[in-house]
Amino acid sequence: MLLRIVEVMLVFCLVLQTTSRALSFVRGISTSRGRPHHGFRMGALSTGLGSSFIDNNAYYERESDKDVNANLGKEVLLYKDDDLLVYSKPHNVQTAPGYTVTDSLSSRIAQEYNLTALERDQLVVHRLDYATSGVIIYARNVDALSSLHTQFRTKKTFKRYAALVHGIFGGSLEGEISLPLGRDWDNKPLVKVDHSGQGKASLTLWSVVASDPTICVSLLHLRPITGRTHQLRVHLASIGHPILGDFFYAPRPIYEQAGRLCLHAEELRCTHPRTGQPMRFFDPAPFGLNDFNIP
């Protein structure tokens, strides 16, 4: 009897997954027709469904009503020395000042250490999306900034994310997504899969950690080899596995399934800019298969 229930749930999950991919097509998403070896790779399987599940408005109501930087002040200092500051950034916090909102994690750090605006800007090594939480590193001097920028640009760092996504992966439990990404100028600030020749090459490695067919959700580890804006979110949505709580790229039911974007930068490895020693920073994801309705 239990086996029969699991079989029924798997069928239901696959129907939802197929529907999600169909939605991506009917909403005007580009495909990779004629590109048999690009896109989603899982063993011998390859598909290239396009980028966005966006409705007419960029934000759903829950996000537009939310206070910007509502979780600012909840950041946790993971590491500190004369060259580096490493934090666990909460979700819904800006990494650095934006065009309309000047408060951010780097602004608060600048206040704490009495930095000028220029020194504040020189803190920023890399960025996490506003809605993404996890490990983020700041530089405390120009030499450290230059070294870390070079490491990120030449792909000498190691980055790993945890994500809860819609759907169950059949076949192989690991693979890659190779789809070019570009700005969606008609739907700022969105990003889309762009096969026009203007899109930038983008590569994401993924592996399945665990799945629950009863709720049609999988926990993934993700490694962005490139670092494009919204790369993980668009790549996963493009193959029919949008991230739970994603207000830009998930269909509304999947967006509403979680109280936040379930994407977290768990691990960052780099070389210390002064000592040359390998550094590893780890911050476990605050969500899991049985606990993801986090406000």
Provide the Cα torsion 169, 170, 173, 176; round to 10°. -70
> Are 195 and 178 contacting, i.e. CB atoms less than 8 angstroms apart?
no
What letter would DSSP give residue 103?
-
Provide the β-strand partners of residue 182: 192
Active site residue 186: no
Q: Residue length, the chain?
A: 295
DSSP result, 224-293: ESS--TTHHHHHHHHTT-PBTT-TTTS-HHHHTTSSS--EEEEEEEEE-TTT--EEEEE---S-BTTB--
Q: For the chain, what percentages of helix, strand and coil (3-state, to nearest 5) are there?
A: 25, 30, 50
* Spatial separation of the C-alpha atoms in residues 192 and 234, rounded to whole Å: 7
* Spatial separation of the C-alpha atoms in residues 37 and 41, rounded to whole Å: 8
Q: Which of these is catalytic: 103, 129, 184, 246?
A: 129
| DSSP 3-state of 190 | coil
**Residues acting as catalytic residues:** 129
